[in-house]
Structure 1
Amino acid sequence: MNLTTMVKGAVAASLVMTSSAAFSAVSKDQVVEHYADLAHAVFADALTKAKDLDTSINTFLANPSEKGLADVQQAWLASRVPYQQTEVFRFGNAIVDDWEGQLNAWPLDEGLIDYVSADYQYELGNEGAQANIVANESLKIGATTLDIKEITPEVIANLNEVGGSEANVASGYHAIEFLLWGQDLNGTNAGAGERPYTDYVIGEGCTNGNCERRAQYLQAASKLLVHDLQWIEKQWSAAEKDNYRSELLADKADNGIRKMLFGMGSLSLGELAGERMKVALEANSTEDEHDCFSDNTHNSHYYNEQGIYNVYTGTYLRTDGTMVDGPSIADLVEAKDKTAAKEILTQFDAARAQVGKLVTSAEKDNQHFDQLIASNNPQGNKLVNDTIVALIGQTGSIERAAGIIGIDSLNPDTADHEF
């Protein structure tokens, strides 16, 4: 995402918020139903972009080149835009949260997947941290030996958390990211991973060995990503029967509203402010940044925040440029207390603008998230800390909105962080 796109998206969403006043007399049932429509739209977009990524990967592997790898990297970056906006549906909906780990688990011990630098730091006690699936046809974890001669989507799925370690992430966006960029060896200096396209040249010209198996891994991981997104898209589709959507809409509306608010608050507080910012900032650790191989962390944070805004306002700007708009929690709040509704939306706008400063820092000032969290960068540290503070304030507004519309004791997940 470039800054111009971000500004256009923000303006469009603000304009839609004005139009949504037409929904001021909506019911909670209508809000929950539109929430399901919103979820389906964003998961459908994530699926479309994953299919585009898969096509780009196949095109690149058929004839590897420097430009081809750059094209695949751009397809991966594009696929993150809708996906990061789906994470607001995680915490209130167990079906999403239980499924999400196979697609977006991080941080990962990348030595499980492929070659790494000699000074590679990994989770202590993780027996799979240097397994290098690409270079080996069998994998020994403890007393167990696994046959990985053929790298398939099923094999990759079964290797997630092998040996009982959450750092053994074999599938999903970040496994693909590592296979496209390689390790970011720049620490808190400028620069992302620099994997050469020749890592995928079959035969003469192959660098770092095992190019054919590396290509098999990349294709299998991509196919698994598409498969998993196809499954979750159907769970929210109005065209399917006996899926999660039908279960959600059959429940009491207040339960649906609580799931919406809890998901927003938990992503805002425990996950985004806590796990994705506070942990990395306090440890000055590039290993704990989200999209660490590609240096795309600023965009991941921004689109997480955009997802929270989407659910509150009942709006979503689709990847084809069309706008989804309908009954929202914002409408329910406005019907109860117009003054509070304006104050809460102002807080949301402030939080979104603050997270947007991370994007500006990366795209305009060339100061990416891994540089901002460096121990010798007080200004960068302040920018990240100010963003955490804004997210805490936004969470307070989410709890305020909950109280206004009759949802008590929301208690968003803090992920055991103190704020």
Structure 2
Amino acid sequence: MPFKRLTMAITLGGLLSACAQQPQPKITKADVVNHYADIAHAVYADSLTAAEQLDSALRLLLANPSEQTLAQARTAWKAARVPYQQSEVFRFGNPLVDDWEGQLNAWPLDEGLIDYVDRGYQHELGNAGATANIIANPMLQVGGEQLDASRITPELLAGLNELAGSEANVASGYHAIEFLLWGQDLNGTNSGAGERPYTDFVPGEQCTNGNCDRRRDYLQAASTLLTGDLAWMAGQWRADQTDNYRAELTTLPADEGLRRMLFGMGSLSLGELAGERMKVALVANSVEDEHDCFSDNTHNSHYYNEKGIVNLMFGEYLRIDGSTLQGPSLLQLVGQQDAASAAKIATQFKLSEQAVHALVDSAEQRGVAFDQLIAADNPTGNQLVQGTIDSLVQQTRAIELAANTVGITNLSPDTADHEF
């Protein structure tokens, strides 16, 4: 299915002109926090729906492995990333989400933990599980410990995450599924993604690279775990529950709800997106630090991270069914206190969204994906990525301005120990 490009439905000019035409009822901090929770629920519900559609595509692949069903599964994986990447703005300010997120989206991963890899594969030094190859080995020898992996189940995969204490041992989530669908991207900083053959999922004599039955079991178990995790998180944000995280959040003072919201926005903008997902890869010219490194879908993942931040500033979210959820926004709250600050923030957000979307344009219009942009011999590409980082730094300052304007001081978004 084609991606839906999400653009701001409200320009600041439209917002201000509408205000000039008729008096608008004032919104409260509690209104904004409640709508924040509404958007969270919608995003996680959409992520669950998209993951269920991915699961259906994976079942078709396993029932009838072919070039066509593999391509359909890959398309469904990319579509599932659209709502999920917009959910990451809820991570850093909400401990429940941050503690849970690793099982779904941890990266980079040592893919040798999961399946066969190229002979030149370079894994994290000192990682005892980096070459465990769960798919090939019903009994895993990790250091002095032997683990029973004879039955590949969702519970087994969940238990193998961070095996031997290494964060690079990622057994589940979107990127484990991505690796199983694409295989390693062996193109370095040249054009091209992973090229796993569909015959890796064909049972019997036509199986390539061995262990097709276990590889099939692994793919299904990872998908089942993914949908189960997303169903649980969607439930944590339902408005009709009294014992979930949303109920806890909305009973706190509204200032605390706003602080969590703003901290999540700033931390994703600065430490995570500008830092971990762009600066680390750029400085090291490292495709291993690319976010969606097997599929070359990184440009879209970065863009939808940015859209998640934009959604909260403008109080709207375009759902995967085409409907728009809209309500009291942080920008409106700022505008009630200081129209000039609101105008400055809106302008910067528009510029930053355009800067991140330039990575999408590079990949989809010029055929130069993120892993090519960060190559050491591509100064023009490096400059494009650096310009995007710089714009995200400015966006974070706009988030801090919003916080100060509405009375949330000393926000200090997480930098992930990066200097900008």
Short-chain TM bin: over 0.9
Deviations 1:110-143 (A, max 9, x none): 0000000000011000011011000000111122
Question: SS of the counterpart of 2:348?
Answer: helix
Equivalent residue for 2:100?
Answer: 99
Task: State how far apart, in whole Å, the 2-side matches of 1:165 and 1:83 are.
Answer: 25
Runs (4 or more) in structure 1 with deviation over 6 Å come to: none
Q: Is the 8 A contact 1:45 1:319 kept in 2?
A: yes
Separation in 2, partners of 1:24, 1:295: 46
Question: Does residue 10 in structure 1 map to residue 7 in structure 2?
Answer: yes
Q: Distance in 1 between matches of 2:168 and 2:88?
A: 20
Instruction: Give SS of 1:135's match.
Output: coil
SS of residue paired to 1:418: coil
Question: How far does residue 241 in structure 1 lie from its aligned partner after superposition?
Answer: 2.5
| Residue of structure 1 in register with 2:367 after alignment | 366
Q: CA RMSD in A?
A: 1.5
- Give 1:18 shift: 3.7
Aligned partners of 1:13, 1:121: CA distance in 2, in Å?
47
Q: CA deviation at 1:16?
A: 12
Q: CA deviation at 1:12?
A: 3.5
Matched, 1:355 2:356: yes
Mapped contact 1:16–1:315 kept (Cα < 8 A): no
Percent of pairs with identical residues = 63
Distance 1:362 1:13 in 2: 27
1:33 corresponds to = 34
Say if 1:108 and 1:167, in contact at 8 Å, map to a contact too.
yes
1:19-66, Cα deviation, whole Å (9 max, x unpaired) = 996866100011101110010000000000000001110111001010
Question: Which residue does 1:112 correspond to in 2?
Answer: 113
Q: Which residue of 1 aligns with 2:129?
A: 128
Distance in 2 of aligned mates of 1:347 and 1:160:
39
Aligned residue identity for 1:337? D
Going from structure 1 to structure 2, the CA distance change for 1:165 and 1:13 (only over 3 Å counts) comes to: farther
Q: CA deviation at 1:288?
A: 0.1
Match of 1:204 in 2: 205
Contact 2:12 2:346 in 1 (8 A): no
Is residue 333–residue 404 contact of structure 1 (8 Å, CA) maintained in 2? yes
Deviation at 1:14, TM superposition (A): 4.5
**Partners of 1:204 and 1:13 in 2: CA distance:** 57
1:270-307 Cα offsets, whole Å, 9 max, x none, are 00000000000000000000000000000000000000
Matched residue count: 416
Instruction: Give, in angstroms, the shift of residue 2 of structure 1.
Output: 6.3
Which ranges of structure 1 fall in alignment gaps of 5 or more residues? none
* Equivalent residues of 2:12, 2:343 under 8 A apart: no
Report if aligned partners of 1:24, 1:335 keep a CA contact under 8 Å in 2: no
The whole-number CA distance in structure 1 between the counterparts of 2:8 and 2:302 is 19
Structure 1 residues 23 and 224: alpha-carbon distance in aligned structure 2, compared to 1, 3 A threshold = farther
2:142 aligned partner: 141
Trace 1:330-349 onto structure 2 (pairs within 5 A). Answer: 330-349=331-350
Match of 2:246 in 1: 245
Partner of 1:183: 184
Aligned equivalents of 2:322, 2:174: Cα separation in 1: 24
Aligned mates of 2:197, 2:318 — CA distance in 1? 35
Q: Cα deviation per residue 1:147-199 (whole Å; 9 max; x = unaligned)? A: 00000000000000000000000000000000000000000000000000000
Contact 2:139-2:147 at 8 Å conserved across structures: yes
- What is the deviation of 1:239? 2.1
The verdict on how the C-alpha distance between 1:366 and 1:283 changes in structure 2, with shifts beyond 3 A counting, is same
Residue 70 of structure 1 aligns to a residue whose secondary structure is: helix
Aligned-partner Cα distance in 1 for 2:320–2:333: 27
Q: CA deviation at 1:13?
A: 5.5
Q: Tell me the SS of whatever aligns to 1:146.
A: strand
Structure-2-length-normalised TM-score = 0.97
The TM-score, its normalising length taken from structure 1, stands at: 0.97
Q: Which runs of 5+ in 2 are unaligned?
A: none
